[in-house]
Amino acid sequence: MTHSTTIAPFARTTAILLLATLGSVAAQAQQKLVPAQSEIAFVTKQMGVPVEGHFKKFDAQIAFDPAKPQTGKIAFTVDIASATLGSPETDSELPKSEWFNTAKFPQATFQSSSIKALGGGKFEVAGKLAIKGASQDTVVPFTLTQTGTTTTANGTFTLKRLAYKIGEKEWADTSMVADDVQVKFKLALTGVGKF
């Protein structure tokens, strides 16, 4: 047996494994967020009155198979400076150090650690949510629906703003601005398999 005949099967096997891996990565890489059809909103209460805002810029890296959710990964990035409450006066306050401190912490991130199916198109993703230098374990429920080639994930969860130091100093008074902030999202995705 020559040296070249023992290397050939090894090289062929390595090439097949490499192609299979690249094919898997390529399939996952085809999952894309459609920003124009997606939104992230937040609702807080100021002196008992609900106030809604939203983020204009965000992105996601998703590798998710609804048939095998436990193998999925979700990473999310939100441009915090894109937050708006719809009022120029209020919006000019949000980037300041007492609130989001966007000069020092320009992004919020979420990195999944596990995803599980709850049945009926409902799922739950657990992971770390990092905002303004603080990181908290967070569980986010969501529901998937499909229309044509678009899959939409809808969900709502509540976070405690003071755990992330959002609204410091005099703004830490929860009688003025509630500690609970409801986050609502609708994420349109392409490339997700049928379920």
Q: What is the extent of the structural domain holding 149? A: 31-190
Q: Which residues contact 37 (CB under 8 A, 6 or more apart)?
A: 150, 152, 186, 188
Lowest-confidence pick of 5-19, 141-155, 164-178: 5-19
Q: Give dist(CA 105, CA 131) in Å, integer.
A: 8
46 and 118 inside one domain: yes
195 part of a folded domain: no
Kind plus residue range of the DSSP H or E element containing 18: helix 3-29
Of the chain, the percentage scoring pLDDT greater than 90 comes to: 79
Q: Are residues 4 and 60 in the same domain?
A: no
Q: Is 59 exposed, middle or buried (0-12, 13-18, 19+ CB in 10 A)?
A: middle
Cα separation, 144 vs 118, whole angstroms? 11
- Express each pLDDT in 61-108 by its tens digit: 999 898 899 999 999 999 999 999 999 998 999 999 999 999 999 999
Provide the domain count of the chain. Answer: 2
Full-model pTM:
0.81
